[in-house]
Amino acid sequence: MLTADHRKVEKLFQQYERQKDGDDEARRELRERICNELTVHAQIEEELFYPWLRENLDDSEPVEEALVEHQSAKALIAQLQVAGVGETTDAKVKVLSEYIRHHVNEEENEIFPQVRDEQEELDELGQELMARKMELMEELGMETEEGAGKEQMVGASQRKSRSAGNSVTR
């Protein structure tokens, strides 16, 4: 589920980049969606995933680094949520995308591999993450992915039987 969120936000950043010279309102809406997606994702990681990692990793340094990265991203998100349209705003979106790209790379290549063997716990955690994500999306007035979320969970369970995947990191 977390990896699916990563891919979704990457696509949103790509859409924003393609629309830099486009309609201001469409870019504002896309920027708002990026900020909302990242806000929800960061919150579920901080509330559920990172505490679980602290309990299950020998070294919690990657978690502490991830939290610092979240704080930097949140600061930019807060600026973008009140920003107008213009080159400065576009630059902030670009910097945010670079922060997120770095953060995702570390999570997927350094943190996720360390916990892949904890399939049963990760499947349970994945269900908690998805439930909390749905709550937060509703609170923010975002279109929920209830059907997509269930589909992601089922797909992860089916893949689990074929590989060492799990519902959290997929």
Token couple for 46: 């901080």
H or E element that contains 19: none
Predicted TM-score (pTM) of the model is: 0.84
pLDDT at residue 144 in the model: 75
CB count within 10 Å of CB 103 equals 21
| Per-residue model confidence as pLDDT tens for the chain (170 residues) | 999 999 999 999 999 999 888 888 989 999 999 999 999 999 999 999 999 999 999 999 999 999 999 999 999 999 999 998 888 999 999 999 999 999 999 999 999 999 999 989 999 999 999 999 999 999 999 987 654 444 343 333 333 333 334 556 66
Note the pLDDT of residue 166.
53
Residue 147 in tokens: 């059907």
Which of 53, 50, 84, 86 shows the shortest CA–CA distance to 68?
50
Contacts of 34 (CB under 8 A, 6+ apart): 9, 12, 13, 16, 80, 93, 96
